[in-house]
Amino acid sequence: MNDFAFLLQKHLDNLDLKPNQLAERLGIPQDTVDAWLDNKKTQCPQRPNNYHIIKQCVETLELKVHDRREFFKATGLFAHRLKQYMRSAHHITANKLADMIDMNRKTVGEWLNESSLPGYCDALFKCAEVLSLSMTERDKLLEAVDLLEKCQKLSPCVVGKPITEPQQFFGRQYEIKRILNQWSQFPLQNIAIIGGKGSGKTSLLYYLGSQNKGNPLDKCVYVDFKLDPRMRDKQHLLLYLLNQLDIPIPEPCDLLRFMDTVTEHLHTPTFIFLDDIDVGLEEASNLDRPFWDGLRALSSHRRGGKLAFLMTSRKKPWEVAQDFGNSSPFFNIFGHVLTLGPLLEEEARELLKTAERLALLSGEHDAEAWEWILEKSQRLPMLLQILADCYIKAMKYGEPAPDKWREECLNLL
C-alpha cells in the first residue's frame, strides 16, 4: 500500500479539497498530484522529493505537529537522503553508522526503511559529523525531518536577545542548584539575582521557567518590566498575574480583591519572576508602595509559604528601592542574593566547543582562536557569544586572517 497516497487523500478529504485545487495552490501540474494519489504504484510510488513542495503541501493541508511528521516520513525524503550520504561516505553500513553515532541499530534501521524519523537535533548533528557532510548537506538532512528551523536555533551563539531554549543555555549550574535547593521545601525562599549587562540574568530566568521535570517549578509567572511597558501599569499587571496563575478574576479587580483571590486559590508552589525590577520602579510606572506592600503580604509564611519571588536587577533589592525612594518592606524579603559574574572556565569552554561542533567549520580546530575569545570576553556570556558568533561567521563567509577577523569582532563589543 502506498502510505503517502493514503495520507494525502485523507487530508484532502478532511479539508474537502480536490487534487486540482491542491495542484493550483502548489503551482504544479495536476498530473503530478494525480500520480501521488495513485495507490496502485506500490513498488515505486510517486512521491514529492522537494522539501519546499512538501513544506508547502503540509501548510496547505493545515497539518498539526504529529500529522506533519507522519507526512514527512511517508515521503521517504529523509531515508533517501541519508542513504545517499551513507553511499558517498565510502558506502558506510547502517550498523556502522549506528555505532558511530551511539544509537541503537534497530533505530537506525527504522530510519532507513521509512518506519520512523529522528526526533532530536543531536542525532542529526552526529550523523552530519561522522558522514563528513557540508553545511548545505547537513541542512538538507535537517529539512527532510522538518527540523531545520528548530535545530538551527540550537546554536549557543545567541546574540542580541535572551536565551529562551534550554538546549542553548550553558553554565550557572551552581546558581541553579542553589535556587532549586531553596525551593525544595516550605516555606519557599525569595531570591534576588544581580549582575551587570550581559551577565545572563534574563536567560537564567527563562531556563528556570522551562524546568518542569525533576524540580518543583510547575507554576511560574514571568514578568518582564523592561521590554513590556504594560507590566508597569498596576491594573494590567494584576490581571496578567491572575490570568497566568489561572485564578478567577474578581470584579472589580482592585489590589485588595486581588490579594484575597490569590490567597484563596494559592494551593500549590507558585513562583513569580520579576525581571529588571528596577525598571518597574521608575517614575513612569504606577506601581506604588501599596502594590509592593501587597506582594509582601502575599509572600508571608503565615499563608503557607507557597509563594516565592525571584527578582533580577543590577543592584541589590534594597539598594534599588532606595534609589527610587521606595521604602516598601517588600524589598527586604530577599534573603538570598546571587551575583552573576563570568562563567566558569569549563562552562565557557563547553559553550565554545558546542558552537564549533554545530557550525561544522572546515579545517582543523583553532585552539588559539578560542583562547583569544576566552580572554577578550572575560567569560561573560554576552561577550562570549558575540565573539564566538563573529569568529564562526568570519571562518564561513568572511576574512579568515586572524588580524582581520579579530579586529572585526572587537568592533562589535
Here the CATH number for the domain that contains residue 90 is 1.10.260.40
Cα(26)–Cα(12) distance, integer angstroms: 14
Residue 179: which region, alpha, beta or left (left: phi > 0; alpha: psi -120 to 50)?
A: alpha
Q: Does a structural domain hold residue 277?
A: yes
What residues does 308 pair with on adjacent strands? 271
- On whether both 133 and 216 belong to a single domain, the answer is no
Q: Does a structural domain hold residue 215?
A: yes
Q: Does a structural domain hold residue 39?
A: yes
DSSP state of 218: S
* E strand map for 169-269: 191-194, 220-224
Q: Does a structural domain hold residue 164?
A: no
Residue of 336, 391, 403 lying closest to 363 (CA atoms): 391
Compute how many other C-beta atoms are within 10 angstroms of the C-beta atom of residue 165: 16
Cα(132)–Cα(285) distance, integer angstroms: 55
Q: Does a structural domain hold residue 161?
A: no
Residue at a domain's end among 323, 339, 355? 339
DSSP state of 329: G
Compute how many other C-beta atoms are within 10 angstroms of the C-beta atom of residue 240: 16
The structural domain count of the chain equals 4
Grid cell at residue 47 = 512521491
- On whether both 283 and 328 belong to a single domain, the answer is yes
- On whether both 59 and 103 belong to a single domain, the answer is no
- On whether both 138 and 210 belong to a single domain, the answer is no
- On whether both 265 and 374 belong to a single domain, the answer is no
Provide the pLDDT for residue 215. Answer: 47
Q: Does a structural domain hold residue 320?
A: yes
Residue of 44, 50, 37, 46 lying closest to 81 (CA atoms): 50
- On whether both 296 and 197 belong to a single domain, the answer is yes
Residue at a domain's end among 48, 75, 102? 75
Q: Does a structural domain hold residue 157?
A: no
Cα(264)–Cα(261) distance, integer angstroms: 5
Cα(55)–Cα(75) distance, integer angstroms: 11
DSSP string, 58-73: HHHTT--HHHHHHHHH
Q: What is the CATH number of the domain that holds 200?
A: 3.40.50.300
pTM over 0.75: no
What is the arrangement of strands in the sheet containing 220-224, beginning at the earlier edge strand? 220-224, 270-275, 307-313, 191-194, 336-339
- On whether both 101 and 115 belong to a single domain, the answer is yes
Cα(111)–Cα(76) distance, integer angstroms: 9
Whole-angstrom CA distances from 205 to 2, 75, 87, 343, 347 are 48, 40, 46, 16, 18
- On whether both 113 and 256 belong to a single domain, the answer is no
- On whether both 219 and 367 belong to a single domain, the answer is no
- On whether both 222 and 364 belong to a single domain, the answer is no
Nearest 5°: phi and psi at 224? -105, 95
Q: Does a structural domain hold residue 141?
A: yes
- On whether both 67 and 122 belong to a single domain, the answer is no
Q: How many CA atoms lie within 13 A of 294 on its CB side?
A: 18
Residue at a domain's end among 49, 75, 101? 75
- On whether both 179 and 128 belong to a single domain, the answer is no
For residue 246, the enclosing domain spans: 172-339
Per-residue pLDDT of the chain (413 residues; tens, 9 = 90+): 458 999 999 999 999 999 999 999 999 999 999 999 986 655 677 899 999 999 999 999 999 888 999 999 999 999 999 999 999 988 899 999 999 998 999 999 999 999 999 988 878 888 988 998 887 888 899 999 998 877 765 678 888 889 987 778 899 999 999 999 999 899 999 999 999 999 999 999 999 988 544 445 778 999 999 999 999 999 999 999 999 999 999 999 999 999 999 999 988 899 999 999 999 998 778 999 999 999 999 998 766 899 999 999 999 999 999 999 999 999 999 999 999 999 999 999 989 988 887 776 777 788 999 999 999 999 999 999 999 999 998 888 777 888 899 999 999 98
